[in-house]
């Protein structure tokens, strides 16, 4: 088996899609812990699902274990998508 590697800097600004084909956003930054990739910061961009759900927030961090594939684009699990209900619950908790 051949292990393919990719330079992390080449992932910046890559488009991110969910496994069902929804445009999610663009890679902004990699999150590294203990010399391993632990997550990816995805910025909300115009016409992305994140912009619709997050409103004024700039993006989210997607755990690396929810990344399904990296090639010309990132494919992430649908489980990484915050639902509208989750966002409203978090907003209410922050206001307490």
Task: Report the domain count for the chain.
Answer: 1
Whether 74 has a pLDDT exceeding 60, the answer reads yes
**Residues 63 and 80: beta-carbon distance below 8 Å:** yes
* DSSP state for residue 4 in the 8-state scheme: P
* DSSP state for residue 84 in the 8-state scheme: H
When pLDDT is cut at 50, 70 and 90, the band that residue 38 belongs to is very high
2 inside domain:
no
80 inside domain:
yes
1 inside domain:
no
pLDDT of residue 89: 43
48 inside domain:
yes
| pTM of structure | 0.75
pLDDT of residue 5: 67
3 inside domain:
no
Phi, psi angle pair for 93, to nearest 5°: -65, -35
Q: Which domain holds residue 75?
A: 8-95
Q: What is the CATH number of the domain that holds 25?
A: 2.30.30.240
């Amino acid at each position: 088996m051949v292990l393919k590697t990719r330079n992390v800097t080449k992932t910046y600004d890559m488009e991110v899609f969910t496994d069902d084909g929804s445009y999610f956003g663009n890679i902004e930054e990699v999150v590294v812990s203990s010399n391993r990739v632990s997550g990816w910061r995805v910025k909300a961009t115009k016409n992305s699902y994140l912009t619709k759900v997050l409103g004024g927030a700039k993006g989210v961090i997607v755990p690396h274990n929810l990344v399904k594939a990296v090639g010309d684009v990132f494919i992430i699990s649908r489980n990484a998508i915050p639902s509208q209900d989750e966002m409203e619950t978090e907003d209410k908790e922050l206001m307490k």
